[in-house]
Amino acid sequence: MTNRGPLILAIESSCDDTSVAVLQGFNVLSNCVHNQEIHREFGGVVPEMASRAHIQYIVPTILAALRTSKKEFNQLEGIAVTQGPGLQGSLLVGHSMAKSLSLALTIPLINVNHIEGHMLSCYLVEKGIQKNSSLEFPYLCLTVSGGHTQIVIVKNWDNFEVLGQTLDDSVGEAFDKSAKLLSLDYPGGPIIDRYSKHGNPDRFVFNKTRMSGVNFSFSGIKTNILQTMQKEQKIRANTLTNDLDDWCASIQKSLIAPLVQNTKKAIFNTGIKRLAIAGGVSANTFLRDEITRLAMKENIEIYIPPLSYTMDNAAMIGAVGQFSMLNGVYDHVSSSAKARITSDKWKYLDI
């Protein structure tokens, strides 16, 4: 994939991170993220507070991204922005800013689906360093975030086939809700990951939910985690604090296992031997180890994103923006942000 290509500014504001990146082709010149700490004390993202914080931080983050990339507004050739899915109030801030810039600078606007950004982030090239591999199409992508849990065949930059997905909670939600039961902060996923390193993953065993094909379900496991905690607390009242490492390791193992099992199934069913993981939960140490082990055993080419590209970031929105610009696909400034997106680029299969 080339480093040459248009100079674009990318904006991501779908949830609680205000992020702006500058890309030349797929080369990331800057990728600034302002993480909103304000939600921590509420145990989850408060939508109204998120959109207010985006308004406060969007301009400073744009200026920081331009400064870091050593580029000026008048050099930009396009604006890529997350159109959805996400929180409507948060999306509106980034999207309105992108439309204003597009009009003021008379450069094209490109609307980007946030999930497509996660899935195409394997094409990003870190500043000045040519990446040795970017996956060729088609590849499988395990997308695991706070809002999504799906296995998709990425047939091309604008062609996605969903093989399986969660029928209830996302795996990120299951991590966060389990962490809440353990009185841990939000977001709980990275905290569970940290405590798990010192814990026994086989100490507590939770019921598995059997699903058809490569679909997922996490609400049953979540309920069973709560029931197991209540049962154990009757025997040892302080188990949740005294055995915290073991609880975390056991929960992590039970939430990651279906991801790895279904990924393995999808590889066998499709015969596709290229695999990417994407989204916030792809930062999970145990998942990264398990996927690496699977890839070595089955001789699969894998892309495991650097940690900076697992969390929400504007560089990944820029990657889709580049594909769009290279293919002459632009959007109109009368378009609007959408909390939910449906698109004919996406097909849903049963295998």
Cβ closest to ligand KG4, residue 193 vs residue 331: 193
Note whether 201 binds ligand KG4 by CB under 6 A. no
The answer to whether 284 contacts ligand KG4 (rule: CB under 6 A) is yes
Q: Please report whether residue 312 would count as binding ligand KG4 according to CB under 6 A.
A: yes
C-beta closer to Zn ion: residue 116 or 312: 312
Q: Is 26 in the site for ligand KG4 (CB under 6 A)?
A: no
Q: Is 196 near ligand KG4 (CB under 6 A)?
A: no
173 binds Zn ion (CB under 5 A): no
Rule CB under 6 A: say whether 108 interacts with ligand KG4: no
For Zn ion, the binding residue among 116, 193, 290, 312 (CB under 5 A) is 312
CB of 311 to ligand KG4, least distance (A): 4
Which one of the spans 46-54, 95-103, 185-193, 269-277 is the region binding ligand KG4 (CB under 6 A)? 185-193
Stretch of residues binding ligand KG4 (CB under 6 A), selected from 76-84, 97-105, 273-281, 292-300: 273-281
Of residues 137-156, those binding Zn ion (CB under 5 A): 145
Secondary structure, 3-state, the chain: CCCCCCEEEEEECCCCEEEEEEEECCEEEEEEEEECHHHHHHCCCCHHHHHHHHHHHHHHHHHHHHHHHCCCHHHCCEEEEEEECCCHHHHHHHHHHHHHHHHHHCCCEEEEEHHHHHHHHHHCECCCCCCCCCCCCCEEEEEECCCCEEEEEEEECCEEEEEEEECCCCHHHHHHHHHHHCCCCCCCHHHHHHHHCCCCCCCCCCCCCCCCCCCECCHHHHHHHHHHHHHHHHHCCCHHHHCHHHHHHHHHHHHHHHHHHHHHHHHHHHCCCEEEEECHHHHCHHHHHHHHHHHHHHCCEEECCCHHHCCCCHHHHHHHHHHHHHCCCCECCCCCCCCCCCCCCEEECCC
Contacting residue, 12, 176, 243, 246, with ligand KG4 by CB under 6 A:
176
**In angstroms, what is the minimal distance from the CB of 2 to ligand KG4?**
27
As measured in angstroms, the least distance from the Cβ of 62 to ligand KG4 is 21
- Contact between 259 and ligand KG4 (CB under 6 A)? no
Residues contributing to the site for ligand KG4 (CB under 6 A): 15, 145-147, 172, 175-176, 187-190, 193, 279-281, 283-284, 311-312
